[in-house]
A = this chain, B = another copy of it.
Amino acid sequence: MRILLSNDDGYFAPGLAVLAETLSTFANITVVAPERDRSGASNSLTLDRPLILRQSHKGFYYVNGTPTDCVHLAVTGMLDELPDMVISGINHGANMGDDTIYSGTVAAATEGFLLGIPSIAVSLVSASKGNYLTAAKVVADLVKRYQKSAFPAPILMNVNVPDIPYESIKGIETTRLGKRHRAEAVVKSENPRGQTVYWIGAAGAAQDAGEGTDFNAINHDRVSLTPLQMDLTQFAQLSATKHWLEA
């Protein structure tokens, strides 16, 4: 089985290293990741300059571009054979609820999915205790399950893992994305040259963290697995919109 790995924290990130090591025990791994931290990159594509591919001492490839660029370049131009799966992560920190819109981790997996390949994004919630191995083992479990019983394609899975030992995990729950409160306001500051500058503030706290959401699963020490789709059409509003236009 050939797996393409990427992330948004950069090719040197510890979460990526642990994931690559764990998966390489039973799969053929190629890493193509950004040369620097691109957290918050969302699905951005680099259109105003070409990309350069380099290789690190570990054999990891890295690209002067976004997570989406990495997967796009690997799949459409670099790899001789299509990967059987694209996995992005292990992200340092959660990607739940509205985070998925901004996340470069989810974006790398999304690009695999849009190119027709089953894809998984995996994030370690909080990450302060650094239980990357827990997340790596969870991914290995999912991949092995997929090898035995292929999920009806196409798939795009968003996986969030609590930052606790593997043994303490209380199962995997299929979830919907929760909702966050509005993000914190920008943080106004001044640089040493006396200019006013603004930092993007923290994400909002969970607003809809009820039964069935990713937030709720994590709060109960369970892995959250949310199947995603990329058609942004608001189907439920199509007919109301039509009426509004014609009124």
Contacts and interface: CB of A to CB of B under 8 A. Distances in A.
Interface of A: 12, 35-37, 39-53, 56-57, 64, 66, 68-69, 72-73, 76-78, 98, 100-102, 104, 107, 110, 114-116, 145, 149, 151-152, 155-158, 172, 174, 176-177, 182-189, 191-193, 195-202, 225-238, 240-242, 244-245, 247
Contacts of A37: 48, 64
Most chain B beta-carbon neighbours within 10 Å: one of A158, A230, A232, A238: A232
A231 B177 contact: yes
Given A39-B47, A174-B245, A225-B245, 6 more contacts: A42-B43, A44-B104, A51-B200, A225-B241, A228-B234, A229-B232
Nearest to A57: B12
A174 B40 contact: no
A227 B197 CA distance: 35
B197 A51 contact: yes
B226 A233 contact: yes
Nearest to A65: B200
A202 to B, nearest CB: 6
Q: Count copies of this chain in the complex.
A: 4
B230 A77 contact: no
Contacts of A101: 43, 110, 114, 230, 232
A42 B40 contact: no
A186 B193 CA distance: 12
Nearest to A180: B114
A50 B47 CA distance: 12
A64 B47 contact: no
Contact of A174 (B50, B196, B242): B242
Contact of A42 (B44, B200, B237): B44
A47 B41 CA distance: 9
A151 B231 CA distance: 22
A245 B69 CA distance: 31
